[in-house]
Amino acid sequence: MYPWERVTKTDSTLRMIHECVKRGHDVAMVTPDRLSIHDSVTMANCEVFTKGQKVSSSIESFRQNCEKSFKFLPMREFDTVFMRANPPLDPFVLNFLDSIKDDVFVMNAVQGLREANNKIYTAAYYDPENEFIPKTYVSKDVEYLQRIIEESDQEQMIMKPLDGYGGKGVIIIEKSASKNIKSLLDYYVNSSSKGAKSQYVILQEYIEGAEKGDVRVFMLHGEPIGAVRRVPSVGEVRSNISVGGSTVKHKLSKEEIKMCRKIGEKLVRDGLFFAGLDIIGNKLVEVNVLSPGAMYAYNKLNKAKLQVKIIDYLEKRVAERKEASSK
């Protein structure tokens, strides 16, 4: 996951850690830069939560006062590894996890993370009738992207970097500003700050009602277990909470539940057991399989504890694996 110093009181990961520590589990966290291989054994310099410490029912008090210490531990001795890093994930981290995936339940599965590490996973969903996937184009060919915009029957399209998260870099392209489009595409494709020569971008049809926000759906083993509507602030196209969006209660419609379950079938096949779907107007715009957030908002709006369902699920999967290995 990301460093503990960046964890805030509204953090979703914090809620799951708190639930695990409260249940008496041995709990540790590690940032990607603290992974090592020692004599062919994958190790991690973990921050381990002190066993038996008094655990406050207040999650914020727990965040500020919890006791933990560093220990150099073999990764395969854990029952489960729960990936919570922000996308895009360093592919070398997945190589480390490859070495333990047969011994540890990894949430989400290593191959699934490899396939869904960026937004191309959603773009490549096979949906020829655009029933639940908006028309989507991915390229770093500026001329091709410009042609797509010019030939679109819509006045507006959404553009975003392929590996962005939290709403970073999401903008609206307007055909009426045609004189600026080439320059904008050049900037997005060729002005990478990561040292690469060029980077992929996504163009997506503008979905009617997008200005009213999107719906974040929490998926657990292919089933929707909760949802919130995220509403953009005044003058903002992005509804992400990290850029000032707010949240309101949302009850999934029959159409939304049907779509979620359809998408959920593929998620489970790919070993993506916990994910966040972003939906606008019954269309899937993003799948977050690394660190889906907004759990704090859902819990507060619904007087719920979504983390309880998630940790119950983890305990069940670990128990099933142990039972199977003992036969």
For 87-97, how does the pLDDT look when each residue is reduced to its tens digit (9 = 90+)? Answer: 778 889 999 99
Higher pLDDT: 250 or 325? It is 250
Confidence of residue 257 (pLDDT cuts 50, 70, 90): very high
pLDDT class of 143 with cuts at 50, 70, 90: very high
Q: Mean of the per-residue pLDDT values for the chain? A: 90
Confidence label for 161 from pLDDT (cuts 50, 70 and 90): confident
- The average pLDDT across 112-133 equals 82
Radius of gyration of the chain (CA): 21
**Mean pLDDT of the 232-243 span:** 57
CATH 3.40.50.20 range(s) for the chain read 4-116+312-326
pLDDT at 228 over 60: yes
pLDDT at 243 over 60: no
Tens digits of residue pLDDT in 127-142:
888 888 888 899 999 9
CATH for the 4-116+312-326 domain, from 3.40.50.300, 1.10.3720.10, 1.20.120.1200, 3.40.50.20: 3.40.50.20
pLDDT tens column, 67-85: 999 999 999 999 999 999 8
CA distance linking residue 134 with residue 282, whole number of Å: 10
Lowest mean pLDDT among 26-40, 141-155, 199-213: 199-213
Q: What is the pLDDT of residue 235?
A: 54
pLDDT score at 96: 95
Omega before 88 within 30 of 0, i.e. cis: yes
pLDDT band at 192 (very low <50, low <70, confident <90, very high): low
Query: Could you tell me the CA-to-CA distances from 100 to 79, 110, 113, 292, 322 in Å, in that order?
Result: 11, 10, 15, 24, 15
Domain with CATH 3.30.1490.20 in the chain: 135-205
Per-residue pLDDT, 238: 52
Residue-level pLDDT at 167: 65
At residue 239 the predicted structure's pLDDT band, cuts being 50, 70 and 90, is low
Which residues are within 8 A (CB) of 66 and not within 5 positions of it... i.e. 6 or more apart? 21, 49, 50, 53, 55
Q: How far apart are CA 160 and CA 188, in angstroms?
A: 8
Cβ within 8 Å of residue 120, ≥6 positions away: 138, 162, 200, 202
Looking at domain 210-288, which CATH architecture does it have? 2-Layer Sandwich (3.30)
Could you please report the per-residue DSSP string of 143-196? HHHHHHHHH-SSSEEEEEETT--TTTT-EEEEGGGHHHHHHHHHHHHH--SSS-
Residue 150 in this model has a pLDDT that exceeds 70: yes
pLDDT in tens, 258-308: 999 999 999 999 999 999 999 998 999 889 999 898 999 999 999 999 999
Distance from C-alpha of 225 to C-alpha of 303, rounded to nearest angstrom: 14
Q: Is the pLDDT at 241 greater than 70, yes or no?
A: no
Quick one: fold of 135-205?
Dna Ligase; domain 1 (3.30.1490)
Residue range(s) occupied by CATH 3.30.470.20 in the chain: 210-288
